[in-house]
Amino acid sequence: MLTAYTSDEIRAAERTLMARLPDGTLMRRAASALAVACVNVLPRVYGSRVVLLIGSGDNGGDALYAGALLARRGARVHAVLAGRTAHEGGLSDLLRAGGRPVDARDGDIAADRVLADLVGRADVIVDGLVGIGGAGALREPYASLARLTAGAPGVVVAVDVPSGVDASTGEVQGEAVAAHLTVTFGAVKAGLLVDPGASRVGTLHPADIGLGPHLPAPDVVALTGADVAGLLPRPSAVSDKYRRGVVGVVAGSDRFTGAAVLSVGGAVRAGAGLVRFASAAEPVAQVRARWPEAVTKVITPGEGVRDVGRVQAWVLGPGMGTGDEAHALARSVLGGDVPVLVDADGLTVVSRDRELLRREAPTLITPHAGELGRLLDVAPAEIEARRLHYARRAARELGVTVLLKGSTTLVAEEGRPVRVNVTGTPWLATGGTGDVLAGIAGAFLAGGLSCYDAASCAAYVHGLAGRLAAGGPEEGEAPIAALDVALQIPAAVRALTASA
């Protein structure tokens, strides 16, 4: 399991460790790890051009010491001094090694052709402007330097965290460095895993400097493939379809039949022992044609789900509509005593009547930013900007488990660490993939997983299936459809269990 921490937690651990070490030891460890990372992205060190962007904090010191190590190996190193001060020991070490300072504290950086040429010709640009203590928008000249890196052809290496990214939350206000590689020291910072900050990280390289024993229990984690493989429901020699889990799906309508096919497909392919599907006549006909394994029932307006049959969990909402009939269906499903996953149109229904979520049995909601915005009365753009904050708030206020979909999928439950999903591909941003995800999670719920584990495992498997459907760097990625993802679920599970 990958664990992540806030900047306050990291700093507290650093203080504890530094009290036991000779002065400067921790910075030297960080600088050494940073220098090695830079060496690894350079075709050769001798004669290479390295530009250090130096702020006033300790991460600027890390960059200066690393620059000195590179200069001693023959690199041509320039340190762009952007802060009011620079780390005295680090700057002295760089100068002794032959590095050259460039003062960027005064003047118009955007019009400084010398500085632009320096950055533009660099093989590696080391971002040591703002460290984990930075919050809010970058000020000048840092903001202009961040913009300058965006057009540079060299490899941008961030020190601990890309400048402009909040290390604790991933929030970005204004300009931010977009790194190709982020070398983070001691432990992963939570903001490096959560968008919008995560999209600025590039390749994440954690460097061990000895903080581990001094860190608290994490508030943000990411499951590995081995973690997910260990949680997935698996049949035993005595299993039958009922022991493996029966999931009920209420989805689709005469207008939206595809959502029914895709959500049922997600459940079938994810290993549900039995899928019971209830809806209007047309989606029932479509599901029968595509997934004959499902037991189907046509329900009439006002009938509810009382005669559908016993299930261990429900999936409610994809394509079901949002009118009075949908509200009655939602009330019928949520009035039961088994776990319920609420998705898509179901979320619109409960956003108008949040009392439907006040139930004793476990509830999992799977919104995107717009749907969560309706539930919390918050603009979707605000949700996207502060994903970690609003996922936690929704779990607390609504009393449910939240799977917040998007470029970074988060799973939040009150009193538990937020789980960040690390699988997926941008090609998953296409219609219907969320319906497949709902079906996967519903199958895992029916198989006995908690909402927290079912959501986490479903997000991981869904992302992995998306990657398999899209292809990879070797064969070239290609567009995918939602059904492609459903069909790749067994391959994704097979890959997980084979490597566990």
pLDDT of residue 112: 81
Do residues 4 and 188 make contact, with C-beta atoms less than 8 angstroms apart?
Answer: yes
pTM as predicted:
0.92
Which is nearest to 465 in space by CA: 448, 450, 484, 449? 484
Do residues 279 and 298 make contact, with C-beta atoms less than 8 angstroms apart?
Answer: yes
Q: Which domains does the chain have, with CATH numbers?
A: 2-217 (3.40.50.10260), 225-499 (3.40.1190.20)
Which token pair is 290?
């595509």
Q: Residues, the chain, total?
A: 500
- CB under 8 Å to 389, separation ≥6 — which residues? 169
pLDDT of residue 107: 72
Distance separating alpha carbons of residues 60 and 127, to the nearest angstrom = 8
pLDDT of residue 234: 87
Of the CA atoms within 13 Å of residue 22, those in its CB half-sphere come to 3
Consecutive H or E run containing 324:
helix 324-334
Distance separating alpha carbons of residues 7 and 134, to the nearest angstrom = 9
Sign of the CA dihedral running 454, 459, 461, 462: positive
Do residues 141 and 105 make contact, with C-beta atoms less than 8 angstroms apart?
Answer: yes
pLDDT of residue 101: 95
Going by the annotation, the residues of the binding site for K(+) are: 59, 127, 163
Going by the annotation, the residues of the binding site are: 58-62, 127, 131-137, 142, 160, 163, 259, 319, 368, 405-409, 434-435
pLDDT of residue 130: 95
Sheet holding 49-54, edge to edge: 100-103, 76-81, 49-54, 124-128, 155-159, 181-185, 203-207
Sign of the CA dihedral running 362, 367, 372, 374: negative
Dihedrals phi, psi of 70, to nearest 5 degrees: -70, -40
Distance separating alpha carbons of residues 259 and 462, to the nearest angstrom = 16
Do residues 329 and 304 make contact, with C-beta atoms less than 8 angstroms apart?
Answer: yes
Do residues 266 and 489 make contact, with C-beta atoms less than 8 angstroms apart?
Answer: yes
| CB atoms closer than 10 angstroms to residue 2 | 17
| CB atoms closer than 10 angstroms to residue 160 | 28
Going by the annotation, the residues of the binding site for AMP are: 405-409, 434
Consecutive H or E run containing 259:
helix 258-269
Going by the annotation, the residues of the binding site for (6S)-NADPHX are: 58-62, 131-137, 142, 160, 259, 319, 368, 435
pLDDT by residue, tens only, the chain of 500 residues: 999 999 999 999 999 999 999 999 999 999 999 999 999 999 999 999 999 999 999 999 999 999 999 999 999 999 999 999 999 999 999 999 999 999 988 777 766 888 999 999 999 999 999 999 888 899 999 999 999 999 899 999 999 999 999 999 999 999 999 999 999 999 999 999 999 999 999 999 999 999 999 999 999 999 999 999 999 998 887 787 888 999 999 999 988 999 999 999 999 999 999 999 999 999 999 999 999 999 999 998 888 898 899 999 999 999 999 999 999 999 999 999 999 999 999 999 999 999 999 999 999 999 999 999 999 999 999 999 999 999 999 999 999 999 999 989 999 999 999 999 999 999 999 999 999 999 999 999 999 999 999 999 999 999 999 999 999 766 678 999 999 999 999 999 999 988 76
pLDDT of residue 474: 65
Distance separating alpha carbons of residues 116 and 388, to the nearest angstrom = 36
Of the CA atoms within 13 Å of residue 157, those in its CB half-sphere come to 31
